[in-house]
Amino acid sequence: MVIPMGGMGTPMVGPPPAELQHRFRIIRLCILAMVFSIFCQVIAGILLNRLWAALLESLNVILISIIGSFLMNDDPTLGKVYQFFMQTCLQSCQDQCQGGMSCLLPFILCNVITAVLNIILNGVIGNIINIFRQLSTLAPVNFVGAVIFLVASIVALTAQIVGAVYGYLAYRDARDSGVTATPGTWGNNAGAGGGGGLARNWRANDRDTEMDQPTARPATGFQAFGGTGTRLGSG
């Protein structure tokens, strides 16, 4: 049975299909870039003596990275993060946290919301420009920390925007192609009935053929076992 994917929020299941691998290669790079930005934020926080603030500012990126690891749970690298959560804090809800394409829409929404809030409310672009202007006045340690912080901010924001765009493109392509009710099976599989269905159809055709064949009827006046046979020993 094919489930039409006509609107936003339509459930998707299974791993990313092969037809969308060119989209998910970019999404994977965006997730890895976010993980890289988290490490840069931590290092910058240590150098600038603002580790706690750096961790708080990285919470949204950490959340998106976790969602991304669930989305790419069949990836050799990101799948290890998924397995870690499944074997530890999320062990009791493995049936509800199957990952894969079911995490695509949350991944898109979290990227969009985080990027918009950072640009509009937090003024991340203005902060980047101001730090660039102040680099020449900073001490060496603070200079290195500020540069790392700039790299982390630019990489995280870029990865969120690109991840949201390519996530939507993947969602659109998946919606247009359709997804079957069986996890991991994509596209319109009408006519792929499997070996069991083929055997059943074959047997049904045989029965129809047998029913269509005329049944041989005995000749007029003939009675089964009505003849007089010769007995052994009879004269």
pLDDT of residue 11: 60
What is the secondary structure of the chain as a DSSP string? -EEP--STT----SSPPGGGHHHHHHHHHHHHHHHHHHHHHHHHHHHTT-HHHHHHHTHHHHHHHHHHHHHTTTSTTHHHHHHHHHHTTTGGGTTT---GGGGHHHHHHHHHHHHHHHHHTS-HHHHHHHHHHHGGGS-HHHHHHHHHHHHHHHHHHHHHHHHHHHHHHHHHHHHHH-EESSTT-BS--TT--HHHHHHHHHHHHHHHHHHHSPPP-PPTT--TT-S-PPPTT--
pLDDT tens across 128-186, in order? 999 999 998 999 999 999 999 999 999 999 999 999 999 999 999 888 876 543 444 44
Q: What is the value of pTM for the model shown?
A: 0.69
pLDDT tens across 59-68, in order? 999 999 999 9
pLDDT of residue 155: 96
pLDDT of residue 190: 38
Domain residue extents for the chain: 18-177
What confidence category does residue 10 fall into, taking pLDDT thresholds of 50, 70 and 90? low
